[in-house]
Amino acid sequence: MAPIQLGVLASGRGSNLGALLEAEAAGTLYAHVALVLSDRPEAAALRRARDRGVAARLIDPESRRARLAPEVEARYVEALQAHQVDWVVLAGFFRIVGSILLNAYADRVLNIHPSLLPSFPGLDAQGQALAHGVRISGCTVHLVEAAVDAGPILAQAAVPVEDGDSVESLSERILVQEHRLLVETVDRIARRGFIRDGRRVRWNREPA
Amino acid sequence: MAPIQLGVLASGRGSNLGALLEAEAAGTLYAHVALVLSDRPEAAALRRARDRGVAARLIDPESRRARLAPEVEARYVEALQAHQVDWVVLAGFFRIVGSILLNAYADRVLNIHPSLLPSFPGLDAQGQALAHGVRISGCTVHLVEAAVDAGPILAQAAVPVEDGDSVESLSERILVQEHRLLVETVDRIARRGFIRDGRRVRWNREPA
């Protein structure tokens, strides 16, 4: 199998993008970040990509709505296809993608979420976990479907919640696992692939 | 602090009761199982208790309803109080307890549930976890409140879900952690105690 060509959508500092770029540079990721797209001109993710010589583009929705307008979403898809992207990673992308992207990349859009889904979907997952008083939280890499944070789960990592945790301290502990889990999962997709059976995902055997 | 006097309510084979009894016998649990109560004459938990010389009583609700009738629940409380029980453990008790028991033992009723709550409350938690396709499940020890499987969480343990897992194989892997977690949590309650802050629980320091 050829390495996966990744398109990464990010709105913020892009630390998960950074983990992918570092793993690629270190030779521990069987994938290439081919394109980074952002909805925000000030996203550090864009600079991070350009620093590594990776194509990076702002596609500004010019709207504050979380859900992308169809014509904007179509521009994202055009850019991804122009760069021969075959998997899309939402790495801290603050917009909700819809059927245009999900149809173009059916079962090939990943999201990473800072909780053990199905617990604590949506915004401020770490704050939700603290308020609920769980002793174990974590992160989840899943396929994106129309419902937010609800697609089939590819991988999870558990993270302990400490008595004195704040949202910041818990978020930081989870983020370390997010970086590892995202890199490992993309690498596993590229090397092994999986079969979907309803919501359950079964990984193929490692090729001999 | 004196060791905790435990009352254990169990409907089935009582393997979590067994873990408590073994830990007490081994001297690794700062608690004494003072009484075992069951709603089912055939519950192996009753025999298990008697084999260890622990008082064991059937209190038959003579009804198939999950929720105990008030007069039946009052008989459970009378039996617990007659044996100077100060903490109640629901260890595979198939009935729903109500305000009579919860008022008599406010914040002193524990339940162990085979999932990482708030994911998969209710019946067949392991089957729910498999159907949802999570990669990590586990178990939760929590304080019992009126809503089922929703009280403040005292402890959790994570358990990986394997690709080929059945309900049986996953349940067995979780059960090993249930035994450990329940014993550790009861021991911690006896030795340290905790402070409740809304839904969050903070353990006191170990006494010097």
pLDDT tens digits, one per residue of A97-139: 999 999 999 999 999 999 999 999 999 999 999 999 999 999 9
Taking only the tens place, the pLDDT of each residue in B87-136 is: 999 999 999 999 999 999 999 999 999 999 999 999 999 999 999 999 99
* Cβ atoms within 10 Å, residue B141: 24
Distance from CA of A185 to the nearest CA of B (A): 12
How many Å apart are CA B102 and CA B88, to the nearest integer? 10
Facing residue for A153 by CB, picked from B134, B138, B153: B134
- List A residues 117-156 in contact with B (Cβ-Cβ < 8 A): 117-119, 130-136, 138, 152-156
Q: Which two tokens stand for residue A26?
A: 């270190």
Residues 6+ apart with CB under 8 A from A115: A121, A125, A126, A128, A129, A137, A138, A139, A140
Using a CB-CB cut-off of 8 Å, the residues of chain B touching A163 are 202-203
Q: Are A105 and A80 in contact (CB under 8 A)?
A: yes
CB-based contact B152 A131, cutoff 8 Å: no
Instruction: List the domain boundaries for chain A.
Output: 4-124+137-157+176-203
Residue B141 has pLDDT above 80, yes or no: yes
Q: Which alpha helices (DSSP H) does B52-166 contain, by range?
A: 70-82, 99-104, 125-132
Distance from CA of B153 to the nearest CA of A (A): 6
Q: What is the pLDDT of residue B118?
A: 97
DSSP state of B112: E
Tokens 């990744």 identify what position?
A6
Residues pairing with A195 in the sheet = A202
Tokens 């109080």 identify what position?
B81
pLDDT band at residue B149 under the 50/70/90 scheme:
confident
Q: Are B16 and B92 in contact (CB under 8 A)?
A: yes
Identify from A132, A182, A195 which residue to disrupt to test chain B contact, counting B C-beta atoms within 10 A and taking the largest count. Answer: A132
Identify from B107, B130, B135, B194 which residue to disrupt to test chain A contact, counting A C-beta atoms within 10 A and taking the largest count. Answer: B135
**What are the per-10-residue average pLDDT scores of chain A (208 residues)?**
92 95 96 97 95 96 92 97 97 93 96 97 96 98 89 97 96 98 97 92 86
Q: What is the pLDDT of residue B148?
A: 79
pTM value? 0.92
Residue B147 has pLDDT above 90, yes or no: no
CB-based contact B133 A200, cutoff 8 Å: yes
CB-based contact B116 A134, cutoff 8 Å: yes
In the residue annotation, A132 being an active-site residue is answered as no
DSSP H or E segment with residue A130 = helix A125-132
Identify from B113, B115, B136, B202 which residue to disrupt to test chain A contact, counting A C-beta atoms within 10 A and taking the largest count. Answer: B136
* The one-letter amino acid at B208: A
Q: Which alpha helices (DSSP H) does A27-98 contain, by range?
A: 44-51, 70-82
How many Å apart are CA A179 and CA A165, to the nearest integer? 20
CA A145 to chain centre: 13
Residues pairing with A109 in the sheet = A88
Apex B112 CA angle, B110 and B114, nearest 5: 160
Q: Name the catalytic one among A32, A83, A113, A142.
A: A113
Q: Widest CA span of chain B, in angstroms?
A: 49
CATH architecture of the domain with residue range A4-124+137-157+176-203:
3-Layer(aba) Sandwich (3.40)
Using a CB-CB cut-off of 8 Å, the residues of chain B touching A133 are 152-153, 198-201
CA-based end-to-end distance of chain B: 12
Distance from CA of A50 to the nearest CA of B (A): 35
Is B196 within 8 Å of chain A by CB? no
Using a CB-CB cut-off of 8 Å, the residues of chain A touching B136 are 116, 138, 156-158
Q: What is the pLDDT of residue B40?
A: 95
Q: What is the pLDDT of residue A207?
A: 75
Is A64 within 8 Å of chain B by CB? no
CB-based contact A158 B158, cutoff 8 Å: yes
CB-based contact B116 A117, cutoff 8 Å: no
How would you class B51 by CB atoms within 10 Å of its CB: exposed for 0-12, middle for 13-18, buried for 19 or more?
exposed
Reduced to 3 states, what is the DSSP secondary structure of residue B140? strand
Candidates A158, A191, A189, A188; CA nearest to A173 is A158
Residue B208 has pLDDT above 70, yes or no: no
Facing residue for A153 by CB, picked from B117, B135, B158: B135
How many Å apart are CA A39 and CA A103, to the nearest integer? 20
Angle between the N-to-C axes of helices A125-132 and A167-191, in degrees from 0 to 180, rounded to the nearest 10: 120
CB-based contact B201 A133, cutoff 8 Å: yes
Using a CB-CB cut-off of 8 Å, the residues of chain A touching B205 are none
